[in-house]
A and B are shown apart, each in its own frame.
Chain A
Amino acid sequence: MPATARERPFLEPAYCKGCLRCVEVCPKDCITPGTAVYPGTGLIPVELRLDACNGCGLCIAACPEPFGLRTQSETAHVEHAAQEYLLQDPTELFGSKIVEGSPIRERPAKAIPLQECAPLVLKGTYASAIGAVLAGCRHVFGYPITPSTEGAELMAKMLPKLGGSFVQAVSEVAAVNMMYGAGAAGVPSMTFTSSPGFSLMLEGISYMIGAEVPGVFVNVMRGGPGLGNIGPEQADIKLACRGLGHGNTHALVLAPSTPQEMLDLTMEAFALSFRYRNPVVILGDGYLGQMTGAVRLPSRMFRPGLPSWCVWGDRAHRTNLICSIMLAEPDLEAHNLRLNAKYAAICAEEQRADAYRCEDARVLVIACNTPSRMAKGAVEAAREHGIAAGLLRPITLWPFPIDALKELLPHVEHIIVVEASPGQLEDEMRLALSHAGIQPPPITSVRRLGGMLPQQAEILAGIRESQEVRV
């Protein structure tokens, strides 16, 4: 609205708050503080006497209200109705403005076939980075932290050649919010971090969950609390499963155990993240991040689509809003109930576990990440000793694969939870058992802390001990 318009101002008194910023600016003293309370608003609008008005427009430029003082031509259609205006609703008088916009369309993701390749020899973080690129991720935001940094380094190398962006953010706090922005725009984004950095990202993850923004977090867990060390620990299970920032939050938590799974589960994480419009967390341990192993590439990669809900920056998506604030309590309750329904659907649909020699197992070992490999060796060794042991390896930690566990329990006499944490995996299992109303057999544990992993011999000892306890 050019201030130079030589048109006289018009004011709908309902839109005036009586701030008087227009009064002082008028060189002809046309505007005076009002004297009467306007019944619709309880405020006192200014009064206009425009006999002396020369249309300088200064009052219009001084008015903070978008629909406050405007030129008469802008409101020309109002004038004839001005007399009876007080009693009428402008919507009824003039109708709603038609918001132009083509219908919001979703562009689906596209699979692109890949040639068969010889297996790669990759460390876990690299495998995850390549998995992300294959899943269509071209936007990575991160802050260096051992032992996850190599993933970011590889992205910094690859993405510029793929028309993508890697940004080394000022902190993990900034990184997660860049993900929030990219995710809000509907594009897949990710970060590599490790425990202390993951702590810093929790605020942003809560916002992403609240605003239903997808994104993938690879947390290569290290020793804690505090700065801890860079050894492998699994002590962020509680954080990822129960503590994703403030409020009613949950995210799928995937636990790979090999570099191959770092790739496979990263690819899957992107699909899940967009399917549920929710962040997905990949929990690796320090060994897995650094460990080099054989990795086979899948037979196809993906070009991501563009979802209908995103704030992309075009006409088709202009009316969208990404937001986690809902001031009216009933609105926020309804939103949370919707989130709960989503969580319930995830729990019902997305439990994943790998069962090894479980068919007839009487001693069931539960372990994930690298410790599950040692546990597998221990199960083998126990079988050689004539103990019917099996390994159930949760691949989703949230939701805990309770359905798979439930199926095995009729023949299981003892459960041993093996973990490099003070019992956080066991807590997830016990909570899941409790919610399912299952009375479990005796549960014991083999735990190491501080960057030490349970070794095969310790796990085997635990298995053998469970037999003695029973006798």
Chain B
Amino acid sequence: MSTFYDHFERHGKGLANRVTHYCPGCGHGLAHRDLAAAIDELGVQDRTVLISPVGCSVFAYYYFDVGNTQAAHGRAPAVALGHKLANPDAVVISYQGDGDLASIGLAETISIAQLGIPITVIFINNGIYGMTGGQMAPTSLVGQKTSTSPEGRDSAMGQPLRVAELIAQLDGPVYVERVALYDARQRTKARKAIAKALRLQVEGRGYAFVEVLSECPTHLKVTPDAAEAWIRTQMEPVFPLGVKKDSMVEPWFRRPPPSFDAETVLALSGAEPTQDRAEGPARRHRLGARGRSLKLAGAGGDGAQTAALLLARAAIAEGFDATHIPSYGPESRGGTSYADVNIAEEEVLNPSAAEPDVLVAFNAPSLARFASTVPEGGLILYDSTVITEPGELPERRRVLGVPFTGIAVGLKQPMVKNLVALGALQAASAILPAPRILGALREVLKHKRAALPVNEAAFAAGQAAVAQARA
């Protein structure tokens, strides 16, 4: 039995250092022996990582000579999953009691079972809290007296949770069985079930769950043989034994080792080595010490954020510092969508646009809300297709109505109204040279080349509309 340590250090040196801390007659020891036997038989001691829970088996790591991690109450399956994904070759076992698995950790239990990633969960169900001293468990029977159900559990305290059945109806697990330890026949089945659950993981076939009805003579306040009888006569009718799920699954769990290839990482980051860049060096159009602050405001779907991002990209390509901050209403579509863009020659200090030099308004509420925030000498651009009556706007600002939507509809692509707006903005403000903005557009659409012509046309049409208005 090499998987057990030769001495259990918890008890220090001496004669007692080969016995467990479990009470006489406790089922944990039997389950431990079954698990150790399974690890031995499969020859996976070196690869095994055992997650000990909070509960009586918190000290499982004193006994099992394997890699050991001790988890917070209820979280063992999450910890097990972290281990398994970190090293898919590890054989990871989450060993948990009923309070841990079926009460505080229920969300982890179910969600991680449903992932189906091969780990092995051993669930010791003894119908009571052991470590904290005999309180009611989620699996306590109706009528069972515990220290927190002193008159017996009634249904309003919750009825016993049949976890094996719960897990078996999930798609993730490949094998679920409930076993018991109360007689020789059941013990044989338990040993086989635990071995099978572990083998399914070793073979990469999937997640396996074994619920073990286990005796807690101490907190049932009976002798070990009476505890066995209690499991057989009282618990088993509520928790029927047997295989709850057993899917034939071919080995499937294989993970490639992580890649640390620099080129792949750069490509995924969207970075391009400098010599590959098509564009020339930054030209440094002048902005003045204060830089520029812009607000693009509309509804979700107007494209304000995309336009803002193009401005920021173009500015950075120009050699400036630039920031873009989006803000949205809670709706995914049709809610407010505001974009703050700031551009500075050296460093953007304030990334918000509380007093924008330029406002681009895609709808009337945005115009009404932000027009007054534009300081004197600023520029207000709005979509004159949508905003037919702009109302009273502050004086001493340049105000330009351009039919963003109308022009875009004329191009048979209403979605490009943001590019019309950008073209108009470029022509009206000359904040950035047009080729920079078009360069940013090409960059953003490099995987959607087909969309480029209509976007470029929209930009040009926006520029032309402003030129025409001037003429």
Residues of A within 8 A of B (CB): 1, 3, 12, 14-15, 17-21, 23-25, 40-41, 43, 58, 61-68, 74, 89-91, 96-97, 99, 112-121, 123, 130, 133-134, 136, 138-139, 141, 157-158, 161-165, 167, 169-171, 173-175, 177-187, 189, 203-204, 207, 211, 287, 290-294, 297, 301-303, 311-315, 317-325, 370, 373-374, 376-377, 380, 453, 455-456
Contacts and interface: CB of A to CB of B under 8 A. Distances in A.
Nearest to B25: A19
A120 B107 contact: no
Contact of A91 (B13, B20, B83): B13
A15 B18 contact: yes
A18 B86 contact: no
Contact of A182 (B65, B86, B273): B86
Interface in B63-80: 63, 65-72, 75, 78-80
Contacts of B132: none
Given A97-B5, A134-B269, 12 more contacts: A24-B228, A67-B4, A89-B14, A138-B258, A139-B86, A184-B83, A292-B325, A293-B322, A294-B321, A302-B260, A321-B69, A373-B351
A114 B261 CA distance: 10
Given A163-B255, A377-B350, A66 B33 contact: yes
Contacts of B85: 139, 165, 167, 178, 181-182
B262 interface: yes
Nearest to B13: A91
Given A25-B183, A65-B19, A187-B86, A115 B266 contact: yes
Contact of A313 (B2, B67, B258, B274): B67
Contacts of A64: 20, 22, 25-30, 32-33
B224 A181 contact: no
B257 interface: yes
B67 to A, nearest CB: 4
B273 A115 contact: yes
Contacts of A312: 67, 86-87, 90
Given A66-B32, A294-B321, A118 B271 contact: yes
A374 B349 contact: yes
A20 B229 CA distance: 13
B312 A292 contact: yes
Interface stretch (B42-50, B230-238, B296-304): B42-50
B268 interface: yes
A172 to B, nearest CB: 11
Interface string B1-40: 1101111000001111111101111111110110011000
7 contacts: A61-B187, A91-B17, A118-B274, A158-B268, A177-B82, A181-B78, A292-B325
Contacts of B13: 89, 91
A177 B75 contact: yes
Q: Which of B79, B112, B271, B277 counts the most chain A CB atoms within 10 A?
A: B79
Interface of B: 1-2, 4-7, 13-20, 22-30, 32-33, 36-37, 45-49, 51, 58, 61, 63, 65-72, 75, 78-87, 89-92, 107-108, 110-112, 115, 183-184, 187-188, 191, 217, 223-225, 228, 255-260, 262, 264-266, 268-274, 277, 309, 312-313, 316, 321-327, 347-352, 354
Q: Which of B45, B69, B107, B347 counts the most chain A CB atoms within 10 A?
A: B69
Contacts of A322: 68-70
A123 to B, nearest CB: 8
Contacts of B46: 313-315, 318
B184 A25 contact: yes
A41 B16 CA distance: 7
A189 to B, nearest CB: 7
A114 B262 CA distance: 6
A164 B258 contact: yes
A187 B258 CA distance: 11
A65 B72 CA distance: 26
A206 B89 CA distance: 28
B204 to A, nearest CB: 14
Contacts of B316: 119, 121, 293-294
B450 to A, nearest CB: 22
A182 B30 CA distance: 30
Nearest to B224: A19
A312 to B, nearest CB: 6
Nearest to A189: B82
A78 to B, nearest CB: 12
B69 A311 contact: yes
A66 B4 contact: yes
A353 B112 CA distance: 42
Contacts of B112: 170, 174
Given A24-B225, A293-B348, A66 B20 contact: yes
Nearest to A119: B316
A323 B322 contact: no
Contacts of B349: 373-374, 376-377, 380, 456
Contacts of B27: 64
A167 B114 CA distance: 13
Contacts of A290: 325-327
B54 to A, nearest CB: 8
Contacts of A294: 316, 321-322
B107 A163 contact: no
Q: Which 5 A-B pairs have the closest CB atoms?
A: A181-B82, A313-B90, A64-B29, A97-B6, A377-B349
A234 to B, nearest CB: 15
A313 B16 contact: no
A57 to B, nearest CB: 9
A232 to B, nearest CB: 9
Q: Which of A24, A186, A292 counts the most chain B CB atoms within 10 A?
A: A292
Contact of B67 (A65, A177, A311): A311
Q: Which of A96, A164, A174 counts the most chain B CB atoms within 10 A?
A: A174
Nearest to A311: B67
B33 A178 contact: no
Contact of A301 (B25, B29, B260, B323): B260
A20 B227 CA distance: 12
B93 to A, nearest CB: 11
